Protein backbone atom coordinates (compact mmCIF):
# COMPACT_ATOMS: atom_id res chain seq x y z
CA UNK A 1 0.00 0.00 0.00
CA UNK A 2 1.20 3.48 -0.79
CA UNK A 3 2.42 5.41 2.26
CA UNK A 4 0.47 8.50 1.18
CA UNK A 5 -3.27 8.92 1.34
CA UNK A 6 -5.08 12.00 0.11
CA UNK A 7 -6.82 14.35 2.56
CA UNK A 8 -8.39 17.79 2.11
CA UNK A 9 -7.13 19.18 5.41
CA UNK A 10 -6.06 18.89 9.03
CA UNK A 11 -7.44 20.96 11.88
CA UNK A 12 -6.03 21.36 15.39
CA UNK A 13 -8.04 22.35 18.43
CA UNK A 14 -7.35 24.82 21.17
CA UNK A 15 -6.12 23.47 24.52
CA UNK A 16 -8.76 21.34 26.23
CA UNK A 17 -9.41 19.17 29.30
CA UNK A 18 -10.42 15.54 28.78
CA UNK A 19 -13.16 14.18 31.04
CA UNK A 20 -13.97 10.47 31.51
CA UNK A 21 -17.20 9.37 33.16
CA UNK A 22 -18.09 5.75 33.94
CA UNK A 23 -21.42 4.74 35.42
CA UNK A 24 -22.91 1.30 36.09
CA UNK A 25 -26.51 0.40 35.40
CA UNK A 26 -27.38 0.56 39.09
CA UNK A 27 -26.64 4.25 39.16
CA UNK A 28 -28.46 7.13 37.59
CA UNK A 29 -27.13 7.95 34.13
CA UNK A 30 -24.23 10.14 35.14
CA UNK A 31 -23.33 10.88 31.53
CA UNK A 32 -26.76 12.40 30.99
CA UNK A 33 -26.36 14.40 34.22
CA UNK A 34 -22.99 15.71 33.05
CA UNK A 35 -24.38 16.69 29.65
CA UNK A 36 -27.35 18.46 31.26
CA UNK A 37 -25.00 20.35 33.59
CA UNK A 38 -22.79 21.50 30.73
CA UNK A 39 -25.78 22.43 28.56
CA UNK A 40 -27.52 24.42 31.29
CA UNK A 41 -24.34 26.39 31.91
CA UNK A 42 -23.51 26.97 28.23
CA UNK A 43 -20.21 25.10 28.31
CA UNK A 44 -19.26 23.85 24.84
CA UNK A 45 -18.21 20.23 24.29
CA UNK A 46 -15.95 20.19 21.21
CA UNK A 47 -15.48 16.41 21.53
CA UNK A 48 -17.97 13.80 22.73
CA UNK A 49 -17.84 10.00 22.55
CA UNK A 50 -20.19 7.66 24.41
CA UNK A 51 -20.09 3.89 24.79
CA UNK A 52 -22.36 1.34 26.47
CA UNK A 53 -21.41 -2.24 27.29
CA UNK A 54 -22.89 -4.89 29.59
CA UNK A 55 -25.14 -2.32 31.22
CA UNK A 56 -22.38 0.16 32.04
CA UNK A 57 -21.98 3.44 30.22
CA UNK A 58 -18.88 5.50 29.68
CA UNK A 59 -18.36 8.89 28.18
CA UNK A 60 -15.29 10.75 26.98
CA UNK A 61 -15.66 14.50 26.61
CA UNK A 62 -13.48 17.54 26.01
CA UNK A 63 -14.09 21.05 27.23
CA UNK A 64 -11.90 24.06 26.42
CA UNK A 65 -9.26 24.75 29.09
CA UNK A 66 -10.61 28.25 29.61
CA UNK A 67 -13.99 26.72 30.59
CA UNK A 68 -12.48 24.10 32.91
CA UNK A 69 -12.49 26.04 36.23
CA UNK A 70 -16.15 26.96 35.71
CA UNK A 71 -17.09 23.40 34.70
CA UNK A 72 -15.32 21.97 37.76
CA UNK A 73 -17.27 24.27 40.06
CA UNK A 74 -20.56 22.99 38.63
CA UNK A 75 -19.40 19.35 38.78
CA UNK A 76 -18.34 19.75 42.42
CA UNK A 77 -21.96 20.57 43.22
CA UNK A 78 -22.96 16.99 42.26
CA UNK A 79 -21.03 14.67 44.61
CA UNK A 80 -22.07 11.43 42.87
CA UNK A 81 -21.00 12.75 39.48
CA UNK A 82 -17.73 14.17 40.83
CA UNK A 83 -16.86 10.78 42.37
CA UNK A 84 -17.20 8.93 39.02
CA UNK A 85 -15.29 11.45 36.93
CA UNK A 86 -11.61 11.60 36.00
CA UNK A 87 -10.02 14.45 34.13
CA UNK A 88 -6.82 14.97 32.18
CA UNK A 89 -5.69 18.55 31.57
CA UNK A 90 -3.95 19.95 28.51
CA UNK A 91 -5.08 17.74 25.64
CA UNK A 92 -5.86 18.71 22.07
CA UNK A 93 -7.51 17.21 19.02
CA UNK A 94 -6.22 16.56 15.53
CA UNK A 95 -8.94 16.20 12.90
CA UNK A 96 -8.12 14.89 9.44
CA UNK A 97 -10.77 15.13 6.75
CA UNK A 98 -12.52 13.69 4.89
CA UNK A 99 -12.22 10.05 5.97
CA UNK A 100 -14.80 8.91 3.39
CA UNK A 101 -15.76 5.99 5.68
CA UNK A 102 -12.50 4.32 4.65
CA UNK A 103 -11.10 1.81 7.16
CA UNK A 104 -7.69 1.93 5.46
CA UNK A 105 -7.60 5.67 6.15
CA UNK A 106 -8.36 5.03 9.84
CA UNK A 107 -5.63 2.40 10.05
CA UNK A 108 -3.16 4.68 8.28
CA UNK A 109 -3.84 7.58 10.66
CA UNK A 110 -3.50 5.37 13.75
CA UNK A 111 -0.23 3.98 12.43
CA UNK A 112 1.10 7.50 11.85
CA UNK A 113 0.02 8.59 15.31
CA UNK A 114 1.79 5.54 16.75
CA UNK A 115 4.95 6.36 14.78
CA UNK A 116 4.94 9.89 16.14
CA UNK A 117 4.89 8.53 19.70
CA UNK A 118 1.93 10.67 20.68
CA UNK A 119 -0.57 9.04 23.07
CA UNK A 120 -4.15 8.45 21.93
CA UNK A 121 -6.76 9.34 24.58
CA UNK A 122 -9.84 9.39 22.39
CA UNK A 123 -10.97 8.75 18.84
CA UNK A 124 -14.18 9.59 17.04
CA UNK A 125 -15.45 10.15 13.55
CA UNK A 126 -18.03 12.61 12.32
CA UNK A 127 -19.57 12.88 8.84
CA UNK A 128 -16.27 14.15 7.49
CA UNK A 129 -13.52 14.19 10.10
CA UNK A 130 -11.50 11.58 11.94
CA UNK A 131 -10.59 13.17 15.27
CA UNK A 132 -7.84 11.95 17.60
CA UNK A 133 -7.20 13.30 21.09
CA UNK A 134 -3.58 13.55 22.26
CA UNK A 135 -1.35 15.75 24.44
CA UNK A 136 -1.73 19.43 23.61
CA UNK A 137 2.04 19.92 23.86
CA UNK A 138 2.54 17.37 21.03
CA UNK A 139 -0.18 18.65 18.72
CA UNK A 140 2.00 20.66 16.33
CA UNK A 141 4.71 18.00 15.89
CA UNK A 142 2.10 15.26 15.48
CA UNK A 143 0.23 17.27 12.84
CA UNK A 144 3.51 17.93 11.03
CA UNK A 145 4.23 14.17 11.03
CA UNK A 146 0.76 13.40 9.62
CA UNK A 147 1.13 16.14 7.01
CA UNK A 148 4.38 14.59 5.76
CA UNK A 149 2.55 11.33 5.04
CA UNK A 150 -0.77 12.68 3.76
CA UNK A 151 -1.22 14.33 0.40
CA UNK A 152 -2.86 17.71 1.07
CA UNK A 153 -3.99 20.20 -1.59
CA UNK A 154 -1.58 23.03 -2.37
CA UNK A 155 -2.44 26.23 -0.48
CA UNK A 156 -4.62 24.23 1.94
CA UNK A 157 -6.41 25.92 4.82
CA UNK A 158 -4.24 26.48 7.94
CA UNK A 159 -4.16 23.79 10.63
CA UNK A 160 -4.74 26.16 13.55
CA UNK A 161 -8.13 27.76 14.11
CA UNK A 162 -8.30 31.52 13.86
CA UNK A 163 -12.08 31.72 14.08
CA UNK A 164 -14.05 30.31 16.98
CA UNK A 165 -17.82 30.39 17.23
CA UNK A 166 -19.12 30.28 20.78
CA UNK A 167 -22.70 29.67 21.80
CA UNK A 168 -23.76 32.50 24.13
CA UNK B 1 -26.51 13.31 -22.16
CA UNK B 2 -25.94 16.71 -20.57
CA UNK B 3 -22.82 17.18 -18.44
CA UNK B 4 -23.37 17.42 -14.70
CA UNK B 5 -23.05 20.94 -13.36
CA UNK B 6 -20.22 21.70 -10.96
CA UNK B 7 -21.04 23.25 -7.57
CA UNK B 8 -18.28 24.55 -5.29
CA UNK B 9 -19.00 24.18 -1.55
CA UNK B 10 -16.91 26.47 0.68
CA UNK B 11 -16.99 26.34 4.48
CA UNK B 12 -14.37 25.93 7.20
CA UNK B 13 -16.53 23.25 8.85
CA UNK B 14 -15.59 19.95 7.11
CA UNK B 15 -18.80 18.26 8.31
CA UNK B 16 -20.95 20.92 6.70
CA UNK B 17 -18.97 20.68 3.45
CA UNK B 18 -19.35 16.90 3.42
CA UNK B 19 -23.08 16.80 4.23
CA UNK B 20 -23.92 19.45 1.60
CA UNK B 21 -21.66 17.67 -0.93
CA UNK B 22 -23.36 14.30 -0.33
CA UNK B 23 -26.77 15.90 -0.86
CA UNK B 24 -25.63 17.65 -4.05
CA UNK B 25 -24.15 14.43 -5.44
CA UNK B 26 -27.41 12.62 -4.71
CA UNK B 27 -29.12 15.34 -6.80
CA UNK B 28 -26.75 14.58 -9.72
CA UNK B 29 -24.37 17.53 -9.37
CA UNK B 30 -20.58 17.35 -9.42
CA UNK B 31 -18.96 18.88 -6.35
CA UNK B 32 -15.70 20.69 -5.63
CA UNK B 33 -14.77 21.51 -2.03
CA UNK B 34 -12.79 24.26 -0.32
CA UNK B 35 -12.30 25.23 3.31
CA UNK B 36 -11.54 28.95 3.08
CA UNK B 37 -11.67 31.78 0.54
CA UNK B 38 -8.11 31.29 -0.72
CA UNK B 39 -8.63 27.60 -1.44
CA UNK B 40 -11.98 28.45 -3.04
CA UNK B 41 -10.35 30.85 -5.49
CA UNK B 42 -7.83 28.13 -6.42
CA UNK B 43 -10.68 25.67 -7.11
CA UNK B 44 -12.55 28.28 -9.20
CA UNK B 45 -9.42 28.90 -11.31
CA UNK B 46 -8.96 25.14 -11.81
CA UNK B 47 -12.54 24.67 -13.05
CA UNK B 48 -15.25 27.29 -13.20
CA UNK B 49 -18.28 26.19 -11.14
CA UNK B 50 -21.86 26.95 -12.12
CA UNK B 51 -22.62 28.03 -8.55
CA UNK B 52 -20.75 28.60 -5.27
CA UNK B 53 -22.24 27.80 -1.86
CA UNK B 54 -20.19 30.14 0.29
CA UNK B 55 -19.84 30.44 4.05
CA UNK B 56 -19.28 33.91 5.45
CA UNK B 57 -16.95 33.45 8.43
CA UNK B 58 -13.77 31.65 7.35
CA UNK B 59 -10.03 31.97 7.95
CA UNK B 60 -7.59 33.75 5.58
CA UNK B 61 -10.23 35.11 3.19
CA UNK B 62 -13.86 35.28 4.34
CA UNK B 63 -16.97 34.77 2.24
CA UNK B 64 -17.73 38.47 1.83
CA UNK B 65 -14.25 39.15 0.47
CA UNK B 66 -14.46 36.26 -2.00
CA UNK B 67 -18.00 37.23 -3.03
CA UNK B 68 -16.87 40.83 -3.68
CA UNK B 69 -13.85 39.60 -5.65
CA UNK B 70 -15.94 37.32 -7.86
CA UNK B 71 -18.69 39.85 -8.50
CA UNK B 72 -16.10 42.51 -9.41
CA UNK B 73 -14.42 40.20 -11.92
CA UNK B 74 -15.51 40.22 -15.57
CA UNK B 75 -14.42 36.59 -15.76
CA UNK B 76 -16.37 35.30 -12.76
CA UNK B 77 -19.21 37.76 -12.06
CA UNK B 78 -21.79 35.44 -13.69
CA UNK B 79 -21.14 32.59 -11.25
CA UNK B 80 -24.16 32.35 -8.94
CA UNK B 81 -23.33 32.70 -5.26
CA UNK B 82 -25.44 31.47 -2.33
CA UNK B 83 -24.16 32.79 1.00
CA UNK B 84 -24.44 30.70 4.16
CA UNK B 85 -24.81 32.87 7.21
CA UNK B 86 -25.26 32.24 10.91
CA UNK B 87 -26.48 35.82 11.31
CA UNK B 88 -29.43 35.62 8.94
CA UNK B 89 -31.50 37.93 11.14
CA UNK B 90 -29.11 40.70 10.18
CA UNK B 91 -29.44 39.91 6.47
CA UNK B 92 -32.65 41.17 4.92
CA UNK B 93 -31.67 40.81 1.28
CA UNK B 94 -28.81 39.59 -0.89
CA UNK B 95 -27.26 43.01 -0.45
CA UNK B 96 -25.56 42.85 2.92
CA UNK B 97 -24.04 45.95 4.51
CA UNK B 98 -21.00 45.30 6.68
CA UNK B 99 -20.15 47.13 9.89
CA UNK B 100 -17.55 49.10 7.93
CA UNK B 101 -20.23 50.25 5.47
CA UNK B 102 -19.19 48.02 2.54
CA UNK B 103 -21.91 46.11 0.72
CA UNK B 104 -21.75 42.55 -0.58
CA UNK B 105 -24.00 41.41 -3.43
CA UNK B 106 -24.72 37.70 -3.56
CA UNK B 107 -27.42 35.97 -5.59
CA UNK B 108 -29.09 34.40 -2.58
CA UNK B 109 -28.52 33.56 1.07
CA UNK B 110 -29.59 30.85 3.47
CA UNK B 111 -29.38 30.86 7.28
CA UNK B 112 -27.49 28.31 9.33
CA UNK B 113 -28.40 25.74 10.50
CA UNK B 114 -29.12 24.76 6.91
CA UNK B 115 -32.22 22.92 5.75
CA UNK B 116 -30.70 20.79 2.98
CA UNK B 117 -33.93 20.48 0.96
CA UNK B 118 -34.35 24.25 1.01
CA UNK B 119 -30.73 24.70 -0.05
CA UNK B 120 -31.25 22.30 -2.98
CA UNK B 121 -34.30 24.27 -4.12
CA UNK B 122 -32.26 27.46 -3.92
CA UNK B 123 -29.39 25.93 -5.91
CA UNK B 124 -31.74 24.78 -8.68
CA UNK B 125 -33.56 28.14 -8.81
CA UNK B 126 -30.27 30.02 -9.13
CA UNK B 127 -29.08 27.73 -11.92
CA UNK B 128 -32.20 28.30 -14.06
If DSSP codes are grouped into helix, strand and coil, which group holds residue A53?
Answer: strand
Phi and psi at A35, nearest 5°, equal -65, -40
Q: Which residue has the higher pLDDT, B57 or A65?
A: A65
Place domain A5-14+90-151 in its CATH homologous superfamily.
ACT domain (3.30.70.260)
Domain boundaries along the sequence of chain A = 5-14+90-151, 17-88
**Cβ-Cβ contacts under 8 Å, A95 against chain B:** 14
Residue B66: which domain range? 6-127
Is residue B20 situated within a structural domain?
yes
Q: pLDDT for B76-88, tens place per residue? A: 999 999 999 876 5
Q: In this complex, which of B18, B42, B57 lies closest to A98 when CB atoms are compared?
A: B18
Phi and psi at B12, nearest 5°, equal -85, 0
CATH of the domain at B61: 3.40.50.2300
Q: What value does the mean pLDDT of chain B take?
A: 87
Contact criterion met (CB < 8 Å) for A156 and B12: no
Closest C-alpha among A100, A136, A122, A118 to residue A50: A122
Q: How far is A109 from chain B (nearest CA, A)?
A: 17
Number of separate domains in chain B: 1
Q: In this complex, which of B18, B22, B60 lies closest to A157 when CB atoms are compared?
A: B60
What is the per-residue pLDDT for B53?
97
Taking the alpha carbons at both ends of chain A, their separation in whole angstroms is 47
Q: pLDDT for B108-128, tens place per residue? A: 888 888 999 999 999 999 998
What is the per-residue pLDDT for A1?
46
CB contacts < 8 A, A to B, total: 51
Q: Are B56 and B32 in contact (CB under 8 A)?
A: no
**Cβ-Cβ contacts under 8 Å, A165 against chain B:** 57, 86
d(CA A109, CA A121): 14
C-alpha dihedral (A120, A49, A152, A92), degrees to nearest 10: -50
Contact criterion met (CB < 8 Å) for B15 and A8: no
d(CA A147, CA A144): 5
Output the DSSP codes for A8-27: SEEEE---EEEEEEEE-TTS
Counting every residue, how long is chain B? Answer: 128
A157 and chain B in contact, CB less than 8 A: yes
* Domain A5-14+90-151 and domain A17-88 have a common topology: yes
Is the preceding peptide bond at A36 cis, omega within 30 degrees of 0? Answer: no
Is residue B1 situated within a structural domain?
no
Phi and psi at B39, nearest 5°, equal -60, -40
Is residue B31 situated within a structural domain?
yes
Element housing A95 (H / E): strand A85-97
**Cβ-Cβ contacts under 8 Å, A129 against chain B:** 14-15
Is residue B35 situated within a structural domain?
yes
Q: What is the CATH number of domain A17-88?
A: 3.30.70.260
Query: Each residue's pLDDT tens digit in chain A (168 positions)?
Result: 455 789 999 999 999 999 999 887 656 689 999 999 999 999 999 999 988 887 788 899 999 999 999 999 999 999 999 999 999 999 999 999 999 888 999 999 999 999 999 999 999 999 999 999 999 999 999 999 999 999 998 888 888 876 565 555
Amino acid sequence: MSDTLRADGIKLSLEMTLIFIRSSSSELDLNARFLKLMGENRINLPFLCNAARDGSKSGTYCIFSEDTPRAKRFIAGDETLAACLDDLPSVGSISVFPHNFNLAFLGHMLRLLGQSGAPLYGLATSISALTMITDFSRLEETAAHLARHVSLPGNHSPFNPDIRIKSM
Amino acid sequence: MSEKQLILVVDDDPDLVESVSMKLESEDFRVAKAYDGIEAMDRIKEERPALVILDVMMPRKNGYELCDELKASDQYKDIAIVLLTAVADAVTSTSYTHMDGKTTMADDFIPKPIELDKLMEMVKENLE
